[in-house]
Structure 1
Amino acid sequence: MLLLAVMWGLSIPVTKLGLETLPPLTLTAMRFAVAVPLLFLFAVGKQRLSWRAFPRAAALGILGIGVGQVAQAFGIQGTAASVGTIISATIPVFVVVFAALRLKQPVTGRQQLGLLAAFAGIALVAFGHGQGEVLRSSVSGVAWMLLSAVAIAFYYVWSVELTRDYGTAAVAAWSTLFGFVALLPWAGWEAWHNPVHVTAQGTGVAAYLGVMVSVAGLFLWLHILRTVPAPVAASVQYLQPVFGIAAASAMFGDQLGALFAAGVVLILGGLALAVATRRKAEEAVPHE
């Protein structure tokens, strides 16, 4: 669990590092060029996806990667790594909202309070003034990160039924493939208009994101869910932003001011209230 929290927590700061040498679409395409073959390797011998499930898997892949992961890359480019990390941590909060809509899970008063606290925290993180890390984050960057959190949460909740019928391995492999294929023309367009210089730093980041975050993180998460109670496994959600913010501070010198700290407290407190009692949607898929 500690290893997983570190792996996922480093994803935003490491992506920020990769964007220093590679444009967003190219980095995202390289990440999933690494992840797709490995996901299919892990899916060998598992339950297969039926033909009638392919359109849904394709739609989920386009949403999760074509919108969610691409928006995250643009968002990280436009925000400080610490800001991107804590906004990304709101994904489970949006999962609760979509689970109420799609899976008809009731939202309790406690969860409503958690949602309000989390969104208040987002406002503090995004629009606070006088804090060094906020001044290096654009409004558009914050908007991209929020779009990413919403799209990824939507992907998680709407994939629950498919993963119950066909297993996580098959759904993850095929949806990722479809999303990757849909992304390729846009990455090609980006490369055509902006000269891309592939560096060792960019390649290393893409490999880390593809292997450690997208693939190893997925199967480590599934292993944890099989071996420890879900409420214990969920503690990864609270540790991840802690490691991410610490890494951002060390790697990029983000100064964590009072408003940012207050926003972090509100978001993590809201997360604790919002997801404490409803975990069905979250158990089906990993955080990242």
Structure 2
Amino acid sequence: MLLLAVMWGLSIPVTKLGLLTLPPLTLTALRFAIAVPLLMLFIVGRQRLSWRALPHVAALGVLGIGIGQVAQTFGVAGTSASVGTIISATIPVFIVVFAALRLKQPVSGRQQLGLLAAFAGIALVALGNEGGTADLFETSVSGAAWVLLSAVTIAFYYVWSVELTDRYGTAAVAAWSTLFGFIALLPWAGWEMRLVPIEITAQALWAAVYLGVVVTVAGLFLWLSILRNVPARIAASVQYLQPVIGIAASSVMFGDTMGAAFVAGVVLILAGLAMTMATRKPAQAG
């Protein structure tokens, strides 16, 4: 669990490193060009997907990658790594909202209070961060909005995937949805490559490999292994460690400074996360 928290907690700071020389769509495409073949290896000859399932799984992939992951990458490009990390930590909060709307799961008064606290924390984090050591790492409202859109989209992706994985299997849905999302992303990445100068450095390749292999593939299967051996409520504690690790790494890597408003926002978001997770079975995040 600690290893997974480190792996996922470093994802946004590493994305920031990749964005130093690669534009957002290109970096995202490179990440999933690495992840897709590895995911497909896990299902070859093991799990098949019915033709009836393909439209649903394809839409899931477009939602999770074409919108969710792309929005996250654009958001990280427009925020400091620490701001991107803490706003992304709200994914479980939005899972509560969508689970209530789509899966008809009840929301207690404590969870409602947690939602309000988390949203107030998002506002403080987005508006109260002091930026980093250079203009590249400063936070814009639009950048924070992109990360927030990513958190909302990925949360819905997880809730919807619960229904699909129950029918068709976790590995098959994960592999095929990632493939369809990657295919949908390719034309946009190609368009970006023709307009924006591309410099594929060793650092950018390292970032793409980390995001594709460690965060996407190894993270997914490590998370599933944890769920098979540890109660879900205990496994979900990894969500509390991710933003802490991400913010610490951002401070070391980029010199992100944390003012009083940012610290207050972090406290509100983590408190809101704790309250929303306190009385329900946690869902996957990462």
Shared fold per TM-score greater than 0.5 = yes
Match of 1:126? 126
Instruction: Name which of 182, 185, 201 aligns with 1:183.
Output: 185
- 1:147-185 CA-to-partner distances (Å, cap 9, x unmatched) read 100110111111111101111110000000000000000
Whole-Å separation in 2 of the counterparts to 1:92 and 1:69: 16
Alignment of 1:80-159 (within 5 A): 80-128=80-128, 131-132=130-131, 136-159=138-161
Q: Shift of the alpha carbon at 1:45?
A: 4.4
Gapped regions of structure 1 (runs ≥ 5) = none
Whole-Å separation in 1 of the counterparts to 2:227 and 2:77: 33
Kept after mapping to 1: 8 A contact 2:80/2:131: no
Alignment of 1:242-281 (within 5 A): 242-279=244-281
- 1:96-152 CA-to-partner distances (Å, cap 9, x unmatched) read 0000011000111010000000001001101227x3459920011001001100110
Match of 2:167? 165
Whole-Å separation in 2 of the counterparts to 1:2 and 1:211: 18
Alignment of 1:194-213 (within 5 A): 194-213=196-215
- 1:7-62 CA-to-partner distances (Å, cap 9, x unmatched) read 00000000000000100000000000000011111223443211101000010100
Match of 1:17? 17
Gapped regions of structure 2 (runs ≥ 5) = none
- Please, what TM-score do these two structures have when normalized by structure 2? 0.96
Match of 2:56? 56
- Please, what TM-score do these two structures have when normalized by structure 1? 0.96
Kept after mapping to 1: 8 A contact 2:21/2:200: yes
Kept after mapping to 1: 8 A contact 2:95/2:159: yes
Alignment of 1:32-71 (within 5 A): 32-71=32-71
Letter matched to residue 227 of structure 2: L
Q: Shift of the alpha carbon at 1:275?
A: 1.7
What secondary structure is seen at the aligned counterpart in 1 of 2:105? coil
Match of 2:31? 31
Whole-Å separation in 2 of the counterparts to 1:275 and 1:43: 32
What secondary structure is seen at the aligned counterpart in 1 of 2:21? coil
What secondary structure is seen at the aligned counterpart in 1 of 2:47? coil
> What number of residue pairs does the alignment pair up?
283
Kept after mapping to 1: 8 A contact 2:122/2:269: yes
- 1:253-283 CA-to-partner distances (Å, cap 9, x unmatched) read 0111211111111101100111222226x1x
Match of 1:287? 285
Letter matched to residue 215 of structure 1: V
